[in-house]
């Protein structure tokens, strides 16, 4: 499916940001250079962007708590290169997760103290969906199995992970990149995870 584009003018109107903000975020690589697409139009050359990606990224930036520097935000979006490591107790200290989430994590990752991107994602899922009983432990383990095998490709390509149930039977799907999913009406979507966004959100608490 062809990616939808939005012009720079329409983007600034839709999101309410300024020209200066847009290019300041570009210089910091908070918005990737490759999202700035030059195209010829009848009025000359104009700049367009992949609409869904950039609107989601701008909304995420605007939703971040006050007091976080642009450099800290930029570091979050360069995790693909740096893959920073954290100690699990540091996440508790920063109130990113609860002790209960740590205990659940320990049941599926024995003797693992160092937390990287994949583990951050699992901890976020535990904190948001296991502690609140949205999903079951068996469903968490199915998500973990998929991520153990496919995390790198999904993460690098800004992919998503879905959890569905049909007649009470769960199944997990991972996508690298943007994909439309067509399923019959008897299938219930339980969970939709934007992997990079999910990791970025929990990383916010560690700044």
Read off the pLDDT of residues 4-36 as tens digits, 9 standing for 90 and up.
899 999 999 999 999 999 999 998 888 888 899
By the 10 Å C-beta count (0-12 exposed, 13-18 middle, 19+ buried), 13 is classed as exposed
What per-residue confidence (pLDDT) applies to 67? Answer: 60
Write out residues in the chain with pLDDT < 70, as ranges: 1-2, 64-68, 75-84, 177-183, 207
Question: Cβ contacts of residue 153 below 8 Å, gap of 6+?
Answer: 159, 176
What per-residue confidence (pLDDT) applies to 81? Answer: 47
Q: Residue 2, Cβ neighbours under 10 Å: how many?
A: 4
By the 10 Å C-beta count (0-12 exposed, 13-18 middle, 19+ buried), 159 is classed as buried
pLDDT digits (tens, 9 = 90+) for 195-207: 878 887 787 777 6
What per-residue confidence (pLDDT) applies to 84? Answer: 64
Helix (H, G, I), strand (E, B) or coil at 167: coil
């Amino acid at each position: 499916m062809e990616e939808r584009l939005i012009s720079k003018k329409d983007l600034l109107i839709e999101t309410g940001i300024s020209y200066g903000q847009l290019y300041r975020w570009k210089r910091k690589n908070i918005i990737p250079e490759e999202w700035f697409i030059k195209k010829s139009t009848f009025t000359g050359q104009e700049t367009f962007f992949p609409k869904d990606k950039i609107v989601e990224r701008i909304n995420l930036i605007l939703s971040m708590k006050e007091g976080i520097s642009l450099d800290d935000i930029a570091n979050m979006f360069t995790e693909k290169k740096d893959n920073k490591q954290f100690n699990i107790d540091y996440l508790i200290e920063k109130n990113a997760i609860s002790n209960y989430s740590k205990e659940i994590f320990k049941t599926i990752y024995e003797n693992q103290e160092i937390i990287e991107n994949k583990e951050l994602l699992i901890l976020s899922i535990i904190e948001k969906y296991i502690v609140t009983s949205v999903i079951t432990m068996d469903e968490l383990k199915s998500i973990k199995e998929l991520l153990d095998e496919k995390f790198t490709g999904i993460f690098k390509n800004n992919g998503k992970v879905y959890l569905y149930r049909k007649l009470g039977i769960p199944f997990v799907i991972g996508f690298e990149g943007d994909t439309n999913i067509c399923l019959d009406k008897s299938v219930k979507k339980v969970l939709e995870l934007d992997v990079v966004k999910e990791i970025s959100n929990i990383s916010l608490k560690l700044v």
